[in-house]
Chain A
Amino acid sequence: MPLTGKIAGALIIAISILALFSPMLTSHEPEKIALDSIKQPPGPGHLFGTDNKGRDIFSRVLYGGRISISIAIIAAFISMSIGLLIGLCAGYFGGIVDTLVMAIVDLILAFPSLLLAIGVSIIFPPGIYTVMIAIAFVGWASFARLIRGQVLTLKDAAYIEAARAIGCSRARILFVHLMPQCLPIGLVMAGIKLGGYVLTEASLSFLGLGAQPPMPTWGSMISMNRAYIASEPWMVLFPGLAIAVTTLCFNMLGDALRDKYGLPATAEKIKI
């Protein structure tokens, strides 16, 4: 793995530790309103300053990281599981199942992903679970396509034929013989996708469709504080920096993984 990938990996571990142990790293409560210390610039008392309700931005960024990163990881896991299952079936059974599944996959991949995620997140009441569902609803398609391709090349391998010959059931071939071969590439894909998922989560919560206040998320901090950008820019600067650095690290790691495992360098889905 190239140096950038290693650095990115190390930074991701550092960010995760910061997010995981945020209660120990900051003495300020992220949701506590302190009207005697509103709009304070960054300084020793408040590392990143305070917002218009006197809440400490440093601790809000740390706690927000917990939410954003865990949503991205869980959404990646759900997408991978659904994509794995559907891709396995589509690749193995072929025929009408394959045609149908691939038509749906093409449909989802052709549609602007953010609009689709917004549409899905409207169906359920806003919250962290809704964001996961929305991301996974859009995300499973690229996993399904990748896994299907993998299954198509494996399907005619000698060991699958042998399994069929000794009378293995379809379920056994699918889940015992094919799935372990597809899981690693699925995990690599999940790593590649994480950066995009962090960005999608931030975008949805920026639009007010993510975790609801007073829970701090990076996206909602930017959207709530953007009226103060001229006078108190730190309120917007630090949450955005958190999104940018986290996404950058995940994307760099994703690139390194892509190079290492020789996945096609498809264009990243742009968040508009």
Chain B
Amino acid sequence: MEFFLSLSYKEWIKMRLFVAIVLALSLALLVYIYTDLAHQERMEGASLLVYKFITGYHVLNTFIKLPLIASLTLALSQFLPEMFNKRLKLTLHLPAHEYDIIGSMLMFGVLIYAAIMLLTYVALSITLSSFLPTEYVYIELMAFLLWAVAGLTVYGFTSAVCIEPTLHNKINIALIGISATVLSFWAEYVRATYLFPMTVVLAASGLLMSVYATSRFKRGIM
């Protein structure tokens, strides 16, 4: 735990500006959702707004971009500086086992991502509750949560592409990652909730791919 906290200091300094940018984006989307719903309610009335939801309207479809952009931004802000001048060598030289080091870095990234998604989730639930009945708030929030998990696939595979030492494998991982991302977001976009376990497996695969890429980097594979 002490090692994780010590390493987190570096990760935080490195990523904090980008965390702020993602939070600002999340806030902007929330403001957009709020003003859109407020406008529709004012123009069409509350009952017609609820009726639109009954007939399949999903106010949150704009929000599908947030987990995608957030996870991509966080992974790039965390691992691109490590690969510049091969600084990852310095990190892996810290007195700990390499799997503890990369595991702690990934855990920090996942926790930051989860914190941003949680804050957004809470703010969304407050926003939607002021316009919609509880049942529809629940449906929309479930969709958002599933997208958030799908975002972890992007985080894992983007990190792996950054760390992987060979161009050939970078391309392979990127292609696998793009396929996994499309599959995850498609499954959640069409609300195929029965495919949620697949999304979790794909997200875990992305994170494991980062660990695998680190092991290849450490062995100096060229």
Are A and B part of the same complex? no
Chain A interface (Cβ < 8 Å from any Cβ of B): none
Chain B interface (Cβ < 8 Å from any Cβ of A): none
